[in-house]
Amino acid sequence: MPTGESYLANLYAEDYQFHSFRSTYPGGYNNWSASAKPLLSRLLGLDNMASELEKYQPTVELKKPEQQNGYTRQVGYIETEPNIRLPFWLLRPLDFCGPFPLAITPHGHDQNGHNSYAGVYQDSDHRRQSLTMDRDVAVQAVQNGFLSIAPASRGLSFASNYVPDTYGRHGSRDCRSHFMHAILAGRTAVGERVWDMMRLIDWASNLPEVKSDSLLMMGNSGGGVITMYTAACDERISTAVASCSFSVIASEQGRIFHCDCCAIPGILRWGDLYDVCGLIAPRRFLAVNGIKDQLHSEKDIKRSIDRVQRIYQFAGVSHNFQHRWGDEGHRFYKELMWPIVCQELWNSF
C-alpha cells in the first residue's frame, strides 16, 4: 500500500470515529442519537453561536407580494445575527386558504441560487438553464401545495454575507474564504448556514397559514449538505430531501466529495455523513443521486446507503429512508422527488 494510502487508512479508521452508530451501542438507537446529536452541534459551532447570540432577537422584513401563475411571490429579509441580513423569496399558493405544509429550499454554489429556486431569472439563458436542471424547486413546492421559502445561503450567494477571496489566498474560491474566517472564530460555514435555516424555521413555523408539523427541507449539492445537517440538528423538519450531495465525507483513497466550505473540523473523530443522516431518523429522509454525477462515487454512495439503511432499521423506521438514482448528472430530479414527498405528506394529514 502506498505511503499516502497507509496514512489515510490510519487517519480514517472507523475505530477512531467514536460516535459512529454501531448495532452494539448500549441502549440502541435512541441512546446513540441522544449522545451523538449534541456533539455534532458542538462540532458545527452552533453552541458557540448560541452563546454569542443568546440575547439577539432575529428580525424579518417582508415586501409587498406579487401575483404569479397560481401563487404569490414576495421578497423578505431575515437578520439572523447583527448585520447578517439574508434575503429570501416567500411563495404562497393562491387557490387554498391553508394551513399549508412548509418547504424551505436552501441552495448550493449558485451566486443567484435563491432567485433560481424561486423562478426569478436574470435573463432567458438563466431561465433556460434553471428549468433544464429542475432548479425552480420553490416554485415546484408551491405548485404542490406548500408555502415555500427560497433563502439565500450564507457565503454562497452574492446576497448573503459573501466574503470574497480578496487577496487570492484561498485559491480564488470565495466560499473557502468564508469557511476560513468562520473556523477562526470557532464556527463553521455549514454551522452558520444551519443556524440561518433554524432561525428561518423559528419565524416561518409561527405564520398562521403554516402547518408547522409538516416541514420539508430540500436542496441540491451544497443545499443538500445544508439540508442533511439541519435536519440532523432540528427535529422540526419532518421530511428532508438531499439531491446530489449524499455520500460519505471521504473515500478510502482520499477523495473528499464536498467543497472545502462544507468541511467540519474533527468530524471524522465523531462519525461520517451517514451518521449525520442517521440522526434524521425517525423522520423521513430521501436521498437522490445522479448516476453520471462526476462529483461523487457510486461505490461510496452505496456504502452510505447501506449504513443509513441499517441505522433506520435499528430505529424501527426502515421505511422512512429511501434512495433514488437519477439517470443524469449533478442536478435536481423532480420526477423522482415529488411523488415520494407528496405521497408521504398527504398520508400524514
What does the pLDDT profile of the chain (349 residues) look like in tens digits?
A: 566 788 998 899 999 999 999 999 999 999 999 999 999 999 999 999 999 999 999 999 999 999 999 999 999 999 999 999 999 999 999 977 889 999 999 999 998 899 999 999 989 999 999 999 999 999 999 999 999 999 999 999 876 667 788 888 888 888 999 999 999 999 999 999 999 999 999 999 999 999 989 999 999 999 999 999 999 999 999 999 999 999 999 998 899 999 999 999 999 999 999 999 999 999 999 999 999 999 999 999 999 999 999 999 999 999 999 999 999 999 999 999 999 999 877 666 5
Nearest alpha carbon to residue 111 among 60, 170, 174, 67: 174
Non-local (6+) Cβ contacts of 288 within 8 A are: 241, 242, 243, 244, 246, 323, 324, 325, 326, 332, 333, 336, 337
Distance CA 203, CA 212 (A): 11
Just give the CATH number of 11-348.
Answer: 3.40.50.1820
The domain ranges of the chain are 11-348
Q: How far is CA 322 from the centre of its chain?
A: 16
Global pTM exceeds 0.85: yes
Phi, psi at 242, each rounded to 5°: -110, 120
Number of H helices, E strands in the chain: 12, 10
Encode burial over 20-59: b for 16+ CB neighbours within 10 A, e otherwise: bbeeebeeebeebbeebbebbbebbbbeebeeebeeeebe
Task: Region of 313 please: left (phi>0), alpha (psi -120 to 50) or beta.
Answer: alpha
- Give me the residues paired with residue 75 across strands: 89
Q: Is the peptide bond before 99 cis (omega within 30 degrees of 0)?
A: yes
**Coil, strand or helix at 51:** helix
CA angle at residue 191 from 189 to 39, to 5 degrees? 135
